[in-house]
Structure 1
């Protein structure tokens, strides 16, 4: 009798290793594929509907990078528990499959899938999707630190499928894959936009603007790919590349005998929450022999939305090194003046949307005048973006 029991236990163990994720205890990709195949066959025979929902954890990579793998694992366990509880609803589920055959699996990394069987209408899937997103919206305490995970079924929301979405999704997937390779293939380039003193007309600096030299689509502006960069987790690597590239270019100009002027790099506000940023900047400056006062970093006001204390601390370290910080697109986002005062910034940049209609729109005149006055009262420099006409320039000269 013992031998049979032991063999049974061993078989159970092998089945568990083959079909379940050891970390969360959820079905793995293999078991999920089998469940899906059965579900599709069943729906086909009985004319039923089923839905597959893909769930990604938005901030998993950041938790893993900043708090370590142990914290990442804990986060995955907590998240899977929350997703399970949504499916269980009123505890109707046996371990992973409820009476109606819904199930949840971990495909790997921070990707989960939910299979809903026996649906009556597409809206039923949307309802479950909403609940899944809501379950992950609550903060999680990992190793004593409160973190916001956030779950995406298409980034913090979800969409019902229709055939035209398939073509779009494939295009996007294709572009995402190419984007990941663009770094390895050196397809990103920086173009430099001069910064001019309104009174003397001299070039006193420049801003580095990223472009993607795409093999099929030609030169793509940031608007065409930056949102995707944010989705694919490439924000930090691309930001680090830009810092290194600007320092390299400044060294080249200097070797050619060009008088150096400060050059600013745009970074995502999430980058100013990366503890390693000062080290990265320091390494790039040292590698190319460029002094810190020649490097500027621009971030948008959204830097003040999440973890302002962390951002202020990292900004202070950069400032001590001598790197100049500016707030980009000022006036378009969220600005807490109390934080603004505490940030060691050198300049505010007025968004081009206010500059464009300076001649014709009294509201824009008032906003620009107010930003200039605010900047001067905080002893900050002001940069106006997108000045293209003589009258815009005259307005700025008069309000210097």
Structure 2
């Protein structure tokens, strides 16, 4: 179940009045499902199109479609199972009244359904435009989960939201980034086709869930979001300065790493320490961002990183860390794959311009990296 909307969803599920059957709701005995991925055991879809809201449902008809890509952002993802659910036009998860209290059907309402992407990675849902929760500031949305053959487990992705919704505020998107770990979008733009609103959304599977760790990090062209790591070494030592907020308008390198003991990382930091010192390299910042895979306590991590910085005689390269490799507001937000040792993200004016997964840091490779920066 979608964690960011969980409490609010449960509240409206508890007070929603079924539109087909009127039954009293005893919220004290209602327990949500404990197995999210079990929702894919309910049905075995075979088609890339599905209908969520029944034909009898009141509301504006809506059709959403697009292509699902593998984590490389290029390969169409076929045979991906997708599950969707949303409120009715009144903003409530309306039920038939016969659903078991511990079932997904009771908690998600009857506007829900499954599909399986085709050979081209296509999907299409036909439903009604969901209503926003009454008296809430959360935009109208459609929740969805994916389960791909190329990945380890099912997981949820950022809700379908709509560009026309006035609730798509800066505050909303900040919470999406910080709490859910998803990049902000403009929402789906809807146009009228006959009596139906239509829209499109392209979906990229997250590299964090790949069975084989070959992809990691934001794609070229993605905007680098704000995050608040702990600065152990560098100009912001002892602070939680957002690197992109403070320095993102220039250019630089983020070296995301799960190990500070590798020879590759040592060669990387020594190379960039010397490169940044050159007057010809107008580089705003180089950040080593340790993902703390053991989730060690702050004091221990700080001592380890201080020792790392001192051993490598760092003066220009900053050393930071985040709570864990799956922390929603940092490593997860940047699509850092926990199975990958090192991910390099080169940025200019807060946009990713190059992505390097598990570099070997040879002389030739490092020279190529330097060429990616503007003189």
- One fold, TM greater than 0.5? no
Which structure has the larger Rg over C-alpha atoms?
Answer: 1
TM-score bucket (shorter structure): under 0.3
The TM-score normalised by the length of structure 2 is 0.28
RCO comparison, higher one (Cα < 8 Å, 6+)? 2
The TM-score normalised by the length of structure 1 is 0.27
